[in-house]
């Protein structure tokens, strides 16, 4: 058996994506590296009307139909997702929602269920404490 040295490059390699309250899709670096997608140039977005699942195809050809360019940043990529969410009547306002994502080899898509978040996080506005210091709060909310 040949052992390979693990070299941590990011905080987590959990297979997740998030939808932010302004309708943006966030794909963290760890997810991209886990699936070896960090060198891809764009995505195509798909929707299964029967199962109401979202599919993401990572591509190199930005001339492909429906291609959306992505730019890799230190924390991952962010995709403009609002038109897609609005068209398919998928809720996104008010909370950041995190979803488990899985690879579907039959369709060559990375798939998640927008009706089944793994986690919801409420982003509260920054407020002033009695001492005048700004405090940013994040609150975990129960699912369901």
Kindly list the domain boundaries of the chain, sorted by start residue. Answer: 16-141
What is the pLDDT at residue 7?
Answer: 65
CA 121 – CA 141 distance, rounded (Å): 6
Q: Is pLDDT of 94 > 60?
A: yes
Does residue 139 carry a pLDDT above 50? no
pTM of the predicted model, to two decimals? 0.75
Parallel, antiparallel, or unpaired for β 109-112 and 134-135? unpaired
The more confident residue out of 52 and 5 is: 52
Residue 25 pLDDT greater than 60, yes or no: yes
- Residue 15: pLDDT band by 50, 70, 90 thresholds? confident
């Amino acid at each position: 058996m040949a052992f390979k040295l693990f070299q941590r490059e990011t905080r987590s390699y959990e297979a997740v994506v998030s939808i932010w309250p302004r309708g943006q899709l966030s794909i963290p670096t760890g997810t991209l590296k886990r699936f070896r997608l960090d060198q891809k140039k764009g995505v195509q977005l798909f929707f299964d009307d029967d199962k109401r699942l979202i599919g993401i195809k990572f591509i190199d050809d930005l001339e492909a139909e429906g291609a959306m360019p992505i730019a890799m940043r230190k924390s991952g990529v962010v995709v403009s997702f609002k038109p897609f969410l609005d068209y398919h009547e998928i809720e996104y306002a008010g909370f950041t929602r995190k979803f488990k994502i899985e690879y579907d080899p039959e369709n060559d898509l990375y798939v998640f269920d927008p009706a089944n978040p793994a986690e919801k996080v409420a982003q509260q506005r920054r407020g002033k404490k009695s001492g005048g210091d700004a405090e940013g709060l994040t609150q975990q909310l129960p699912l369901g």
